[in-house]
């Protein structure tokens, strides 16, 4: 089997993993959240039953890009000719090559995650999952010591966001005048800005059924977790009017993301990803809620802890996720937050020096 045949075989396995999930979803047999909870309940591993599934086409594309690079690397460096010959040696060398080339910590962790997914499709589930976890710990440690570049998580200014939303609104109106078909990219952007939702939660997952009484909307977050949030009456009314006239999901996510990138650039901005809206929303929420807590008589420490918990929960994560606090609110706030929640420490398992030193290498 040559390089092109290996890539095609991997493509087929990734495609089948996506089709398995679509079949499960259509049959209503389980949600992603239910599968993760089952894994935790039965094996203490949230990913136990989802490693051989791919939940979205965009995920399949990103995993495939990483895995094809991995296959090319293994073929060129080690002469690998069969998928079955991909193992620990190739995994470790691929990540070490990324470290040597100065890839960012976030990029390296993504590679580990994608290779763990590939391992489940190659019959190496346990081996690749263990390597992925081990390398992720090493990568985080190297990032803390400055050996690796930190992730770039820029947040657009509110001025740029408002300008970009106005550009999208004008273009949506022009589209309606030209084609007669309603389009609502600007509403998706406004929804992300007020709910801190992901792009998929503000587009493909928004239908008329998501709108509830009293200016409430149900957002389907990460892992299929529903979140009931309040939005402004005017946005609620605009969404209802659009979805009543066009009873399909609010927008196509990929088309919306492309439109947002163009709008931000035309508005003079540089942070073109829709996830920037999620960070902008979270930081604005934190600022406003923190001021309210102080005005109500809370101490700065109490206000910081309470508001950070709410901000992280609003993102769809557990309130003790200090890593998410750091990602969306900045290291300073997250560091103070970690000292307040005082999570209980688990005793580290005892390992020999040899095991600890070579756990990721052989």
Per domain, the residue ranges of the chain are: 3-144, 158-275
Q: What is the mean pLDDT of residues 56-60?
A: 84
Domain 158-275 superfamily per CATH:
Intergrase catalytic core (1.10.443.10)
The pLDDT of residue 360 is 53
Per-residue pLDDT tens digits for 158-170? 999 999 999 999 9
Q: Is the predicted pLDDT of residue 354 greater than 50, yes or no? A: no
The pLDDT of residue 224 is 75
Burial of 167 (0-12, 13-18, 19+ CB in 10 A): buried
Closest alpha carbon to 210 in 186, 232, 229: 229
The pLDDT of residue 178 is 95
Per-residue pLDDT tens digits for 124-142? 999 999 999 999 999 989 9
Mark out the alpha helices in the chain (DSSP H runs).
Answer: 3-27, 32-43, 57-78, 88-100, 105-121, 125-144, 158-179, 185-195, 233-245, 253-266, 275-295, 300-314, 322-329, 331-341, 353-358
Q: Is the predicted pLDDT of residue 281 greater than 90, yes or no? A: yes
> Which of residues 230 and 1 earns the better pLDDT score?
230
Contact at 8 Å (CB) between 301 and 282? Answer: no
Split at pLDDT 50, 70, 90, the class of 151 is: low
Say how far apart CA 328 and CA 311 lie, in whole Å: 9
* Mean model confidence pLDDT for the chain: 87
Q: Is the predicted pLDDT of residue 356 greater than 90, yes or no? A: no
Split at pLDDT 50, 70, 90, the class of 64 is: very high
The pLDDT of residue 362 is 43
The pLDDT of residue 150 is 65
Per-residue pLDDT tens digits for 300-336? 999 999 999 999 989 888 888 887 888 888 744 544 4
The pLDDT of residue 337 is 42
Q: Is the predicted pLDDT of residue 220 greater than 70, yes or no? A: yes
Q: Is the predicted pLDDT of residue 344 greater than 50, yes or no? A: no
Q: What is the mean pLDDT of residues 101-123?
A: 91
Q: What is the mean pLDDT of residues 176-188?
A: 95
The DSSP code for 213 is T
The pLDDT of residue 292 is 94
């Amino acid at each position: 089997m040559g390089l092109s045949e290996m890539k095609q075989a991997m493509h087929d396995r990734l495609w089948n993993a996506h089709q398995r999930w679509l079949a499960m979803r259509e049959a209503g047999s389980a949600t992603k959240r239910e599968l993760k909870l089952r894994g935790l309940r039965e094996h203490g591993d949230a990913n136990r039953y989802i490693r051989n599934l791919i939940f979205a086409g965009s995920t399949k594309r990103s995993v495939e890009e990483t895995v094809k690079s991995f296959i090319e690397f293994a073929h060129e460096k080690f002469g690998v000719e069969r998928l079955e010959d991909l193992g620990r040696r190739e995994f470790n060398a691929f990540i070490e090559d990324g470290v040597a080339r100065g890839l960012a910590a976030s990029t390296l962790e993504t590679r580990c995650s994608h290779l763990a997914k590939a391992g489940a499709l190659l019959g190496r589930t346990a081996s690749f999952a263990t390597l992925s976890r081990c390398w992720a710990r090493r990568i985080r440690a190297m990032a803390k010591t400055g050996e690796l570049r930190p992730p770039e998580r820029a947040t657009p200014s509110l001025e740029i966001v408002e300008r970009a939303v106005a550009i999208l609104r004008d273009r949506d109106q022009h589209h309606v005048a030209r084609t007669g078909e309603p389009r609502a990219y600007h509403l998706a952007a406004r929804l992300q800005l007020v709910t801190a939702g992901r792009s998929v939660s503000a587009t493909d997952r928004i239908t008329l059924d998501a709108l509830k009484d009293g200016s409430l909307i149900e957002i389907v977050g990460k892992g299929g977790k529903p979140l009931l949030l309040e939005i402004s009456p005017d946005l609620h009314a605009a969404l209802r009017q659009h979805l009543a006239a066009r009873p399909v999901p609010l927008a196509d996510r990929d088309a919306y993301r492309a439109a947002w990138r163009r709008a931000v650039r035309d508005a003079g901005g540089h942070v073109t990803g829709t996830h920037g809206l999620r960070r902008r929303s979270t930081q604005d929420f934190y600022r406003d809620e923190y001021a309210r807590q102080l005005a109500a008589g809370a101490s700065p420490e109490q206000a910081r802890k309470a508001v950070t918990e709410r901000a992280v929960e609003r993102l769809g994560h557990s309130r003790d996720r200090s890593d998410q606090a750091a990602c969306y609110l900045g290291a300073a706030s997250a560091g103070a937050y970690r000292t307040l929640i005082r999570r209980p420490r688990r005793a580290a398992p005892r390992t020999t020096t040899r095991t600890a030193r070579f756990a990721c290498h052989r």
